[in-house]
Amino acid sequence: MAEPVMIKTIYLKASPETVWRHLTEKDLLARWFHETDRDLTAGASFQYLSFDLNKEDRKLMWGEVLESDPPKKLVHTFTHQWLKGVVTTVTWDLLEVSGGTQLTLTHEGIREFSELTGHDKGWDEHLLRLRMMLS
């Protein structure tokens, strides 16, 4: 059986440069996705942090930037405790279109169906927030 690949494409009323900033800058990521411990830059390891400010260890998800080609493509690993050691890959492709940006998210490496459906729902919710910010 083939491993599933999650692909989501949305259109945003913002330039690729603006969308790029929302995918990589710590302060902007916190507004639509999760707070991070640093900007997502080439070769950087990073952590997405829990919204629970009272937790001693707020590390929720983590990864490493594998490829950074501003403002066209960002590739990073992505994992969290519920993936049980499986490290997945998230690719963001940005394409300038008339009036804005076509943003395509490709998430590869999720093996369990329950995790696939959970991530599918989660990405929909986060991408909706990004769309609301940039429309």
Q: pLDDT for 37-49, tens place per residue? A: 999 999 999 998 7
Percent of all residues in the chain with a pLDDT value above 70, rounded to a whole number: 93
Kind of pairing, strands 88-97 and 45-49? unpaired
**pLDDT, mean over the chain:** 92
Domains in the chain, ordered, with CATH?
5-134 (3.30.530.20)
* pTM for the whole structure: 0.92
Burial per residue of 48-77, b for 16 or more beta-carbon CB atoms within 10 angstroms, e otherwise: bbeeeeeeeebebbbbebeebeebeebbbb
* Residue among 116, 66, 124 nearest 91 (CA): 66
pLDDT digits (tens, 9 = 90+) for 97-118: 999 999 999 999 998 888 889 9
Q: Quick one: pLDDT at residue 16?
A: 98
Tell me, what DSSP letter sits at residue 86?
A: P
